[in-house]
Amino acid sequence: MSCASVWYTNVTPNLLFCFENGICLHLTRLTKQLPRLMATATSKKAAQNGADQPSIAQIPINRIVTLDEFILRSEKDFSYATGELTGLLRDIGVAAKIINREVNKAGLVNIIGEANGAENQSGDTQQKLDVYANERLIECLQNSGECCAIASEENDDIIHVPPVNSKQSHYVVMFDPLDGSSNIDVNMSVGTIFAIYRRKSDPSGPASLTDFLQSGMKQVAAGYVLYGTSTMLVYTTGRGVNGFTLDPSIGEFCLSHRNMVIPEDSQTYSVNQGYYSKFDLEMRRYIDNCSDQNFGLRYIGSMVSDVHRILIQGGIFLYPSTRKYPKGKLRLLYECNPLAMLIEQAGGKAMNTQLKRILDVTPTELHQRCTIAIGSPKMVDDLKAFIERYSALPL
Ligand code: AHM
Ligand code: MG
């Protein structure tokens, strides 16, 4: 343990804290076995104590609830919970804090810019922070062994996670480590997007591609971390959406947005309108209509940031097909599915421009792209009506 590390147990019952250089890392990084053992022990203890503990809804609004406490308390909602999912969410929370630390000092050190001209499998230039975020997430997930395999937007193939302490994990994790990374060099918001699935293959053997090629409906948890003016982690396990803001003074994500609900309707749309002439007729007509109605246009160019704004203020985010990306630019597994689950859980809708619900699309490839329209339910329904009306017309 470095001399900058401080361990103590008396902040929140049943949790052991480790502060290292101002970041609350909990147990995750010290040994490969300790984090998992402690996470499991803590989860079991929390489950045993569950009957005595107030549910999240009963906790007064002004009482601080940390992400870890929330995850542990929520675990008792799942009868089949073993602590693995809890451990995974906590691993992602730890990785998010480490990534946040680097993102926040990106202008101070030689970490912004491109990573030696490297390209990911999709042909996009990799940024240094993309690589850093990818490595930290993989490391945190590998150390705990709570998942059996990982797929990242930045890696060509799936990454197998060796069992820790002979434990066979039942989960696979997918993520885009740093979405919107072209914004890094100009100090704009970026984000991490993640999705967790239960594996389909036999847990006694290695994970396979079929574990990842599941429809978005099969996600057991999904969320994002937004590195913005403040850093937020927003996630769902299929029982609503909750948001946590990182309090840098204590190094903890604290519950700040309970049961998030997206506004039913709005007058804001979000699309790269520079591609207008490359869009299909029905999409151009929809955009014309937004403009005719004096709707506001907001587009950051970082999907996490745009979708986060829409989750809170309402609106619709569009990435339709263009001539350059006839199937859409965004990735189904790393971007569209997790955000679709989250927005649906908040009362919104997400479909592709063939009008199919995103969560019902069956993936055929790991890095599959798709078109997307996501946001307030009324706006997605209006777009659907436009597409149905204009796609029937001859050009
Ligand atoms: P990335 O994963 O390589 O960062 O690309 C995804 C990003 C989204 O965050 C954003 O919505 C979109 O690309 C912006 O694309 P464009 O610049 O074509 O509008
Ligand atoms: Mg991305």
Mean pLDDT along residues 302-318: 98
Nearest listed ligand to the Cα of residue 194: 2
Q: Is 124's C-beta closer than 6 angstroms to any atom of ligand 1?
A: yes
Q: How far is CA 82 from the centre of its chain?
A: 22
Please give the pLDDT value at position 123.
57
The edge-to-edge listing of strands for the beta sheet with 219-227 is 159-160, 149-152, 171-179, 190-198, 219-227, 231-236, 241-247, 252-257
For the 64-257 domain, the top CATH level (class) is: alpha beta
The Cα 215–Cα 222 span in angstroms is 13
Please give the pLDDT value at position 120.
58
Backbone angles phi, psi at 129, to 5 degrees: -70, -30
Please give the pLDDT value at position 145.
85
Domain residue spans of the chain:
64-257, 268-390
Please give the pLDDT value at position 38.
42
Q: Is 152's C-beta closer than 6 angstroms to any atom of ligand 1?
A: no
Q: Judge whether residue 13 has pLDDT over 60.
A: no
Q: Write out pLDDT tens, residues 78-122.
A: 655 667 888 899 999 999 999 999 888 766 655 555 555 555 565
Residues 152/159, Cβ–Cβ less than 8 Å:
yes
- Which class for 186: exposed (0-12), middle (13-18), buried (19 or more C-beta within 10 A)? exposed
| Dihedral, CA of residue 136, residue 304, residue 148 and residue 79, to nearest 10 | 120
Residues 135/143, Cβ–Cβ less than 8 Å:
no
Please give the pLDDT value at position 361.
98
Mean pLDDT along residues 207-220: 97
Q: Which of 226, 227, 302 has most ligand 1 atoms within 8 Å of its beta carbon, as the pocket-test mutant?
A: 302
Mean pLDDT along residues 342-354: 98
Q: Give residue 133 CA to ligand 2 midpoint distance, Å.
A: 12
48-52, 170-174, 311-315, 337-341: the lowest-pLDDT one: 48-52
Q: Judge whether residue 267 has pLDDT over 80.
A: yes
Mean pLDDT along residues 182-197: 89
Atom of ligand 1 nearest to the CA of 176: 2
Mean pLDDT along residues 210-223: 97
Q: Judge whether residue 37 has pLDDT over 90.
A: no
| Domain 268-390: assigned CATH number | 3.40.190.80
Q: Write out pLDDT tens, residues 249-266.
A: 999 999 999 999 999 999
Please give the pLDDT value at position 138.
96
Please give the pLDDT value at position 86.
87
Mean pLDDT along residues 300-322: 97
Q: Judge whether residue 289 has pLDDT over 50.
A: yes
Please give the pLDDT value at position 111.
53
The Cα 152–Cα 333 span in angstroms is 9
Please give the pLDDT value at position 93.
95
Mean pLDDT along residues 115-132: 65
For residue 349, give Cα distances in angstroms to 26, 265, 287: 36, 11, 19
Q: Write out pLDDT tens, residues 132-187.
A: 999 999 999 998 888 999 999 999 999 999 888 777 889 999 999 999 988 877 88
Q: Atom 12 in ligand 1: which residue has the minimum CA distance? A: 301
- Structure-token match 């990799």, residue found: 126
- Which class for 19: exposed (0-12), middle (13-18), buried (19 or more C-beta within 10 A)? middle
Please give the pLDDT value at position 52.
56
Q: Is 26's C-beta closer than 6 angstroms to any atom of ligand 1?
A: no
Q: Is 125's C-beta closer than 6 angstroms to any atom of ligand 1?
A: no
Per-chain mean pLDDT for the chain? 84
More confident residue, 112 or 213: 213
Q: Write out pLDDT tens, residues 324-335.
A: 999 999 999 999
More confident residue, 299 or 114: 299
Q: Give residue 78 CA to ligand 2 midpoint distance, Å.
A: 31
User: Percentage of the chain with pLDDT > 70?
Assistant: 77
- Structure-token match 């909990």, residue found: 26
Q: Give residue 301 CA to ligand 1 midpoint distance, Å.
A: 6
